[in-house]
Amino acid sequence: MARPRKPLLSRARIVEAAGALVDAEGLEAVSTRRLAAALGVSGPSLYNHFRTKDEILEAVADAVSARVDLSMFEPEAAGDWRAALHAWAHSYRDALSDHPNIVPVLARGPGRRPAGLRLADAVFGAMTAAGWPPAQATRIGALMRYFILGSAVASFARGFVDDEAAYDPSDYPHLGQAHLLAERQREVDEGAFETGLAALLDGLALQYEALTRGTSAKPGA
């Protein structure tokens, strides 16, 4: 009886295996040797699809970007720019929270990554369509990325140990409940993200109000 053939090596299979390795062990764990072993192929065969390890990591990062919902920015869904940013921010953070080890690669910017560029294009296009000047639309896209990427890098709540004795009130009079944060990680971290996002969007709304008020005040506007 013939032995079953191994699945053909493809970019998609390499990216999937590399992504699993990054999730499990971090960026430094990725090597052509480890990937080839995981895929059951020889190391040189990977170079038929990617020239370098960095190219593989870029592809993993782009696969994560591709999971971010951009439907709220499509012309047929055009509406409140603030609501669109809010929905997009949550989708983006959800994608990154599932794969925090790849965030340092994403933080370099989209470069030539197709999904990353589509993401940047969608945000910029929606902001300019809403009336934001191009320069400010660029800043809004950058600001949102800083905030979302930063929120996905680490957990504030997990930064505290669950040992009450670690926070002696004589040394830290205001950290008497800090040992409880770790067990409430999701509540604390998601609450912090929503609080920061609301504050950020509130500030932008004030700027937008001033912008549109100034535009409508112009003769002939």
The band of 221, judged by pLDDT with boundaries at 50, 70 and 90, is very low
Q: Residue 79: its pLDDT value, please?
A: 73
Q: Residue 1: its pLDDT value, please?
A: 46
Integer Rg of the chain from CA? 22
Q: What does the mean pLDDT of the chain come to?
A: 90
pLDDT tens track for 7-52: 688 999 999 999 999 999 999 999 988 999 999 888 788 888 999 9
Instruction: Kindly provide the b/e burial profile for residues 34-48, where b requires at least 16 CB atoms within 10 angstroms of the residue's own CB.
Output: ebbeebebeeeebee
For residue 177, what are its two tokens?
A: 């409940």
Q: Residue 6: its pLDDT value, please?
A: 58
3-state secondary structure the chain: CCCCCCCCCCHHHHHHHHHHHHHHHCHHHCCHHHHHHHHCCCHHHHHHCCCCHHHHHHHHHHHHHCCCCCHHHCHHHCCCHHHHHHHHHHHHHHHHHHCHHHHHHHCCCCCCCHHHHHHHHHHHHHHHHCCCCHHHHHHHHHHHHHHHHHHHHCCCHHHCCCCHHHCCCCCCCCCCCHHHCHHHHHHHHHHHHHHHHHHHHHHHHHHHHHHHHHHHCCCCC
**Lowest mean pLDDT, pick from 39-48, 113-122, 136-145:** 39-48
Say if residues 14 and 39 touch (Cβ distance below 8 Å): yes
More confident residue, 157 or 193: 193
0.95 exceeded by pTM: no
- Our measurement of the distance from residue 191's CA atom to the centroid of its chain's CA atoms, rounded to an integer in Å, reads 17
**Most confident among 33-42, 112-121, 177-186 (mean pLDDT):** 112-121
pLDDT > 90 in the chain, percent:
75
Q: Residue 120: its pLDDT value, please?
A: 97
More confident residue, 7 or 100: 100
3-state secondary structure 7-43: CCCCHHHHHHHHHHHHHHHCHHHCCHHHHHHHHCCCH
The band of 69, judged by pLDDT with boundaries at 50, 70 and 90, is very high
